[in-house]
Each structure stands twice: as structure tokens, then as C-alpha cells.
Amino acid sequence: MISFFNRIASAGKEPFWLIAGLGNPGRKHESNWHNCGFMVLDILAGRHQISVDRLRHKGLVGQGRVAGRKSILLKPLTYMNLSGDAVAMALAYYKVLPARCLVIYDDVDLSVGQIRIRESGGAGSHNGMRSVIDRLDREDFPRIRVGIGPKPEAWDIADYVLSDIPASQRELMDETLNKAADAVEMLLGEELEKAMNYFNRR
């Protein structure tokens, strides 16, 4: 199996990273649990002075440098279940290798406060990630999962992920989202294993 670092090297001189945060467009979804991917992208955009405001590839995009790496930030505007359309279009347009396509999304199977980094894998119960995998026709790209669980027993999962983060958990979620942004920066430093070892154990 070709290693992550060998795939990075094969990209040539100064290739792009594509950083896609998954979520739903519109003001009513801004504070939903399901919009954690958008929220992490907003943090990265603020830290690195990147305006994510160009309408392209069925999403909003911005270009700049994250952790010194040439990066495209992408917010799909297709709604969650069709997120893969925007990711696939941007990946093809910017000629990004899958090893440099980083997807950030919420995960109800992780507790609030947790994040997990993986080099590859399936979608689990997440429809947005399933769309990305289906459209790219592969699973070998890195991702960061942001914990939003556990779901309250009485709640339907769709109702829960589309509900707003309550004030009682906002501080912890803000810490978690910033931690996810930290993980992006470490990973882009081409230190995937270091990022996994550091963040996956916390």
C-alpha cells in the first residue's frame, strides 16, 4: 500500500490542499450540530485571513495558506446529502490528490468534546460523508470527525443533528471546534501520524 507521505510527494511542487467542511447552507442551519464542518472552516478562515465567499463548484470557496500550505477552503452549498457533488467538482478543478482532500464533519457516534482523525475509511452513519465517498468512488482520503453525541434517547437522529447547539454545551463545542482547527493545521504540516497520535488519544 502506498503511504500517505509517498502520495503527498507524488503531487509535485506546491500542490493544493482541499479542505471541505460539511454542513447545510442558510441562516436557520448556522448553529446546528450538523454544521460543525462549516464552523471549523470559519475558524480556519479567520485564523488565516481567507475569505470564503466565491460561488464556485456548487459551494463557497476561498483560497489562501493554512499552516503554510496552499489551500482551498470549501463549503458545499448542495445541502448535506449531496456534499460529494461540490467536493468532486473542486477536487477535479484544482487537480487535488485524494491524499490532500481533507473532509471535516460532525459525528454523532463521538461524544461532544472529542475529535478523531483518520487517513481513510467508510462513512458510518453520515450521509454527507457517504455522498463524498460515492462521488469520489474511493475512501482513501483524510477526514476529521467532530463529536456531537450522544444523541438523547428520545430524539430522532435527523431532528437532533438539525437542532441548534444548546447554550449549555456551546463553550465545550467552541473548544472542540478550535481543537479540530488545530488538528487541520498539524495535519497540513504533513504530520498525519503525529496529528492522529496527539488528537485521537485526547
Q: Name the residues annotated as catalytic.
A: 34
Pairing relationship of beta strands 143-149 and 101-111 according to DSSP bridges = parallel
**54-56 sheet: strands from edge to edge:** 54-56, 59-66, 69-76, 17-21, 101-111, 143-149, 115-118
| Nearest in space to 75 (alpha carbons), one of 23, 152, 2 | 23
H/E element, 109: strand 101-111
Sign, Cα dihedral of 165, 200, 42, 81: negative
| Nearest in space to 159 (alpha carbons), one of 25, 27, 33 | 33
